[in-house]
Structure 1
Amino acid sequence: MPSAREVMTALYGTYRLARLDAAGMDFFDATPAGFWRSFFAAVLIAPFYLLLLTIRFSGLPETAPFFSFIAIESIAYVIVWVAFPLLMASLAKILDRDSHYIRFIVAYNWAAVLQNGLYLPIAIMATSGLLAAGTANALGLMALSLIVFYTWFITRTALEISAGIAAGIVGLDFLLSILINTVATGLL
């Protein structure tokens, strides 16, 4: 488990990267131990994600058992956190960027806190009916666009790859997340 100092330092690095400052990479612990601790970001996000799931469940037209809903969505949450780093381990080797793999995943994981800090409030307000559908869709699309660009910048910076290859990796990440969430939704 990372120290509070490491969490704050990593989050500051994500802020710097969001300002398109490549020096933000210097604020991450890009060691094997730092790699594993970066998955703590999933723990930081989980309570807010659980709140979103609870609100989503209350709005479902067909009531599946709450435990089944939470179990399936929780498993999907863990798979999303693990699948892309596993895929990237192979892809980094193919791209001859395996020496950059750890620093990329560390930055990628911690950046998810900032990304979810932007997206989850919109999703929670939209799901709970606090935002009109049109407003929620517009805000969601703007947030998604920012997140995709931010992830592209991190990918390009951390892996030191071309803009096109970075875009391909971000697209692959996006498709993988959609696939996992579609399978989970189909199980409900």
Structure 2
Amino acid sequence: MPSAQEIIAALTGSVKVAQRAPDALRYFDLSADAFWRSFTAIFYALPFYLVFITAGWRMGQEAGVELASSLPAYALSELFAYASLWALYPLAIAGLTRTTGLTRNFAPYVIVYNWSSLLIAAFMVPPYIFYSLGLVDVGGASLFIFFLFISVLAYRWILATQVLKTNGLIATGIVALDVGLSVLLAQLLQAMRGTGAA
């Protein structure tokens, strides 16, 4: 398990990536063991995802979208997708970096990507909390989420250019791959549930 010092340093480095700081990578442990430890970020981000799931369920109900037969069923399917994405995305990136000659930077990219996912989860959670507290309606929360999501895409693009040390076009393809995998998993889950607009 990573130490508290390693986690704090990685989160600091994730912020530095957003700032395009030239020394951002020095905040990360880039060793082989640290590569595998970075996947523990999935557990630290889990509380945020539980907020996304429970608030997202209520938002779907309010918007008239049948997400699943029950909240527990919806939560299980979303957690399955969450875990699947953490497994599938590094595999997809491994293939892409081989194709583009960026293999040398694969491990650092995955390490930074994994830890930055924890930062992104914290960044994305406010509209879900505001909705849960009744401070915004589903429309307001959805608009807030959309603008935060655009910011996340920009961040992922910066991360790809900085850590993989690649050009903007390839970085755009990497971000598109990330989004594409998420959409594909969402579509598969929806097909399995047989749900849609009520």
TM-score, normalisation: structure 2: 0.86
How many residues are treated as equivalent by the alignment?
A: 188
Alpha-carbon distance, 1:58 to partner: 4.7
Residue segments in structure 2 that go unaligned for 5+ positions in a row: 194-198
Distance in 1 (alpha carbons) for counterparts of 2:191 and 2:54: 18
**Equivalence for 2:33:** 33
State, as a whole percentage, how many aligned pairs show the same letter. Answer: 29
Residue identity in the other structure for 1:177: S
- The answer as to whether partners of 1:72 and 1:187 remain within 8 angstroms in 2 is no
Distance in 2 (alpha carbons) for counterparts of 1:122 and 1:56: 10
Instruction: Give a deviation string over 1:13-66, Cα, whole Å, max 9, x none.
Output: 011112121321111111221111111111111012113322334553656144
Residue identity in the other structure for 1:56: G
Residue identity in the other structure for 1:69: Y
Residue identity in the other structure for 1:100: N
**Equivalence for 1:177:** 182
Instruction: Give a deviation string over 1:108-153, Cα, whole Å, max 9, x none.
Output: 1111111111112223434665313443233222211211111101
Distance in 2 (alpha carbons) for counterparts of 1:67 and 1:123: 18
**Equivalence for 1:2:** 2
**Equivalence for 1:24:** 24
Distance in 1 (alpha carbons) for counterparts of 2:184 and 2:167: 26
Instruction: Give a deviation string over 1:70-108, Cα, whole Å, max 9, x none.
Output: 221111110111111110011111111111000000011
TM-score, normalisation: structure 1: 0.90
Aligned counterpart for 1:142 among listed residues 142, 147, 171: 147
**Equivalence for 1:165:** 170
Instruction: Please tell me whether residue 12 in structure 1 is matched to residue 17 in structure 2.
Output: no
